[in-house]
Structure 1
Amino acid sequence: MEGVLTLFSDFYSALSQVNGFVTPKLAKRFPENFLFGVSSSAYQIEGSWNIDGKGQSTWDYYLHKQPDIVEDGTNADVTTDSYRLFKQDIQMLKHLGVKSYRFSLSWTRILPDGTTNHINPLGIAHYRKCIDLLLENDIMPLVTLYHWDLPIAFGKNGGWLNENTADRFGDYARVAFLAFGDKVKHWITINEPFIHCSFSYGIGLHPPLIKSPGKGFYECGRNLLLGHARAYHIYDEEFRFQGGKVGLVVDAQWPIAATGSEEDTRAVKDYLALYVGQYLDPVLKGGYPQRLLDLVAAASSRQGTESRLHPLSEDQKEYIRGTYDFVGINHYSSLMVYRNESVIGMYDEPSFYDDVGIGTYMDDSWPASSFDNMRDYAPGFYSLLLYLKDTYDNPVVYITENGLPLSSAEGLDDWKKANYIRHYLDALADAKADGSNCQGYFIWSLMDSFEWASGYEYKFGLYQVDFEDPDKKRTARKSALVYKEIIRTGTIDVSYDPNPYQHNGTVY
């Protein structure tokens, strides 16, 4: 590890730069069993894209053929080199003191062609070593089965527009449960169906580059739900004796009405039906939200077609309903939403944007990251947690991603991110005090990594990675030290930094 992981020599000296942090006057304490963790995903950190029998994913295939898919023309052939350097990554986790690490398996590292025709023993052995080392260091593995790296054979055959992919996903899940379920007790089936479906099958920005925002987007979501349910039922019927839990991760930003108008209030509800309810309602309630069905049916009718969102059959509703032991939520920021005459004709083709018919923006008073599409507004996070509590009968929730990106120029002195973490954990503590059943919080991400179509410009890591260094040297940012102390004490200081937020709308 020497020469690879650089740590600040005086931890408390670094913390002393934050007024009142080491000896807070007011502090909110988290329960002893609260899971503090960090997250990553296989394609974004592993590298070794063709090593030890790994097959090609859609990302491997398309980024080699069309490098311009990514803004900076890069790919994840090497990225942080974590397939080779996983032991160093686990030392970083140990240094942070996290209780859990969320990471994903590469489908094609385990099943090179995506099917059970060939199971790769080297892929199985690698993940066994990772899991064993995590457990030896008292770090609970939270394993995601699918974080967007679809086997290329399926990508060329329609990907998640083909219902057969849901069946193949179930086969893959069974192999993973067999191989790792004796030690892994927390499983995530699928990460962020909205983002995956909109980017890969809606606007065509991510592989397999299918542009069908008015139909493919919904079909993808439907098949992801079926794939999730299939994996859940396989675990429930064949592997429940292992004593584990299975859940789905949904991305959920919080919408705030831009004005007190009736249309803006309705826009908030419509936003939640599309972005959150489309996936959580079938799993936690059974069936799509009625307002989403009505919105898509009305827009389709205006376009002279039957509804582009096909209702789930009664059998499918029953198959999907109740397929969760917990809910994972990825949350980064909030949005102001509105609906007025300006949104009419905003979109020139059938799409989920047009179906909902709302406009969004971020309030300029919310502290910004290096990028305008990420802002620090923790009261929205509190409102989201209370909404989940009240709407879905207070399920067990893990915040599986939360974080703020830096630019390449910002380096190690990232107090903006450190304060973001403090603000959001402060809001989470308040939500727990008000009844939210949130039991864990995971920062995205452990270290800088490949950020999909944005390449390497977005720096989400608690640890900086020198991508020019052959050893991919990792260096702790100040946010890592702040998070380490929060985990060590189990408390969040609220004496530092008065509430910086203002907004001109309503909060749940």
Structure 2
Amino acid sequence: MIGSFIYKSFGFELKFEFKSFKMMWIYMVFGFLLSNAIADDNTKFPEGFTFGVATSAYQIEGAWDEDGKGENNWDRVAHTIPNFIYHNDSGDVTCDSYHQWEEDIRILKELKVTHYRFSISWSRLLPHGFNFEVNQAGVDYYTNLIKALKAANIEPYVTLFHWDLPQFLEALGGWPEREIVQWYSEYARLCFELFGDDVKHWMTFNEPKQTCTNGYGSGSYAPAIKSPGVGEYMCIHNLIKAHAAAYHIYDTEFRDKQNGKVGIVIDSAWWEPYNATTDSDASERLLHFTFGMYANPIFYGDYPEVVKSSVARRSQSQGFPNSRLPEFTAEEQNTIKGTIDFLGLNQYSSFYVTDKTDDKDGMGYDADAEVKTWADESWQQGAADWLNKAPFGIRNMLKWIKKTYPDIPVIITENGWSDFDGTLDDDPRIDYISSYLSNVKASMDEDKVNVVGYTVWSLIDNLEWLFGFTNKFGLYRVDFNDPNRTRTAKKSAKWYTNVIENRCLGTCE
């Protein structure tokens, strides 16, 4: 025997022994194909399954201080903290979609998508965050965009909050301030009133973990406040209550006449147990810290037990009189429970996970979860440091969601691939999306997960938060040196159009 290797994934291990170099290469190729799980799927996605693309306001709109728009917290950090965003970039102009929205409509029609997910800039609609001053130019911008989408038979999927909080409200305490539940409720009600006749899918928040753990925990995102394990948990607590409040406003005041749905978008990597036997608890625990922390209250009324017990135990050992994680009252639990019509999932990457118990003093969700994570070196790395290609992860994540939150309709609200140069000949993006879509299809057909739609991030190259313009996720390249921000279709755009038209990844009859 010349040697052997162990293939480990999907929760099991396979040991391959080879007696010749020829057999070694055969096994290595087999392992590569298995790990990527790319299928030439010849069955069609069902009628009614929606295909779309996504963007967010701060990342594409520009016009940061035009036509009455107020400052938001990302405007503030980009303008006041040197190199907070790479190369001192900002969302001041970015893709200029505030002026180029008709061009965005044109390429959306060219793509033949059935839905377009975008967000409303709270500070463009309400410059100071409060309803006493409504910016008519902002109302007109979103009205025109939504009406044009409807005229093109493209459903608007609208996110109410995608990380950009009015700076006026940030200065009053932001998401850790309990009054923000009321502030957000009033903003949500206004959006339902203004746009609800044409919007049938509302998403209250995009990736609350990023808002809270990065914004008020590590301080790596706006508003750059470092309060791990305290401020970040106050943020989470208020954000969940704000979601429930908005849901009830829609349910009692608008649902009967507008006939729409309200959900939330939660992100998570897939956490693969490094050892299928000894690390399964670490995987489950981290899934609850990264996903269940937000989903469990909405489905069941309270945080996962493993999250509550871990934070309480560590808080006590660190000398806190009470758990750093706030508690919901019985009344709040009843109010929050069941406030969801569909679940949005943002899923890109996977990582191995194992226990880590030597950080006794650390605070924050990553320390409180008591785990160590890393990516397999063999998994292809994207331009973003958090991005890798491990398509089995999206299927495992969907199976876990079905097990933990049965029967909920799931929309893949973000999934995509980045490169550094924005090349038009972007085969790696096609390969990535194809392999993930294949696993989504398998989850529907074989695992019976109720997935009802898929969304590519992103329509166009844009400002990728801390990475600035160095990471390109778009199906369309944007020329950031051109005042008109010209959009040019990449090879992936044409490929995705073909998938949408045929509702199929392979050769379907």
Name the TM-score, length of structure 1 as normaliser: 0.90
Task: Give the unaligned 5+ runs of structure 2.
Answer: 1-38
C-alpha contact (below 8 Å) 2:362/2:368 kept by paired residues: no
Alignment of 1:182-221 (within 5 A): 182-221=197-236
Q: 1:418 is matched with which residue: 423, 430, 450?
A: 430
Q: What residue in structure 2 maps to residue 344 of structure 1?
A: 358
Return closer, same or farther for 1:339/1:349 CA change in 2, 3 Å cut-off: closer
Confirm or deny: 8 A CA contact 2:217 2:226 kept in the other structure.
yes
Residue in structure 1 matched with residue 325 of structure 2 by the alignment = 309
Structure 2: distance between partners of 1:344 and 1:175: 48
SS of the residue corresponding to residue 467 of structure 1 reads: coil
Count of residues in correspondence between the two structures: 467
| Residue in structure 1 matched with residue 490 of structure 2 by the alignment | 477
Q: Is residue 327 from structure 1 mapped to residue 343 from structure 2 by the alignment?
A: yes
Aligned residue in 2 for 1:377:
390
Q: Is the 8 Å Cα contact of residues 213 and 364 (structure 2) preserved in structure 1? A: no
CA contact (8 A) 1:257 1:338 kept: yes
How far did 1:67 drift? 3.5
- Counterpart AA for 1:411: T
Q: Is 2:477 aligned against 1:461?
A: no
For residue 367 of structure 1, report the CA deviation from its aligned partner: 2.3
Match of 2:4 in 1: none
RMSD: 1.5
Partner of 2:33: none
Partner of 1:437: 450
What stretches of structure 1 move > 4 A for 4+ residues in a row? none
Aligned 8 A contact 1:285 1:392 in 2 = no
In structure 2, the CA distance between the partners of 1:466 and 1:117, relative to structure 1 (3 Å rule), is same
Q: Is the 8 A contact 2:247 2:262 kept in 1?
A: yes
Is residue 232–residue 323 contact of structure 1 (8 Å, CA) maintained in 2?
yes
1:43-94 Cα shifts (integer Å, max 9, x gaps): 1100011111111111112211224211221101000000000000011100
Aligned-pair CA distance for 1:348: 5.5
1:247 maps onto 2:263 in alignment: yes
Superposition pairs for residues 330-409 of structure 1, below 5 Å? 330-340=346-356, 344-345=358-359, 349-408=362-421
AA aligned to 2:198 is K
Amino acid at match of 1:449: N
- The aligned amino acid for 2:323 is S
SS in 1 for 2:266: strand
- Cα deviation code 1:369-399 (max 9, x no counterpart): 2345311111111111111112111201111
Listed one character per residue, the Cα deviations across residues 469-497 of structure 1 (whole Å, up to 9, x for unaligned) are 111111111111111110010001289xx
Where in structure 2 are the equivalents of 1:83-94 lying within 5 Å? 83-94=98-109
Q: Is this contact kept in 2: 1:67–1:74, CA < 8 A? A: no
| CA positional deviation for 1:25 | 7.1
TM value normalised by structure 2: 0.89
> How many angstroms apart in 1 are the aligned matches of 2:219 and 2:381?
28
Q: Which residue of 2 is the match for residue 294 of structure 1?
A: 309
**1:404, 1:460 within 8 Å by CA — same for their partners in 2?**
yes
CA contact (8 A) 2:67 2:137 kept: yes
In structure 2, relative to structure 1, the CA distance for the partners of 1:25 and 1:228 (3 Å cut) is closer
Cα pair 1:67 1:75 within 8 Å, conserved: no
Q: Which residue in the other structure is 1:499 paired with? A: none
Once structures 1 and 2 are overlaid, which stretch shifts more, 315-324 or 366-375? Answer: 366-375
1:328-368 deviation line (CA, Å, top 9, x unaligned): 1111111110115xx513x8642222211111011122222
Question: What amino acid maps onto 2:236 in structure 1?
Answer: G
CA contact (8 A) 1:388 1:394 kept: no
Deviations 1:380-438 (A, max 9, x none): 11111111112111201111000111113x51111111011100110000001121111
Asked which structure has the greater RCO (Cα within 8 Å, sep 6+), the reply is: 1
Q: Does residue 144 in structure 1 map to residue 156 in structure 2?
A: no
Give, in angstroms, the shift of residue 303 of structure 1: 0.6
Question: Measured at CA, do residues 494 and 457 of structure 1 come closer, stay the same or move farther in structure 2, by a change above 3 Å?
Answer: farther
1:318 to 310, 325, 334: 334
CA distance in 2, matches of 1:333, 1:25: 22
**Cα distance in structure 2, aligned partners of 1:61 and 1:224:** 21
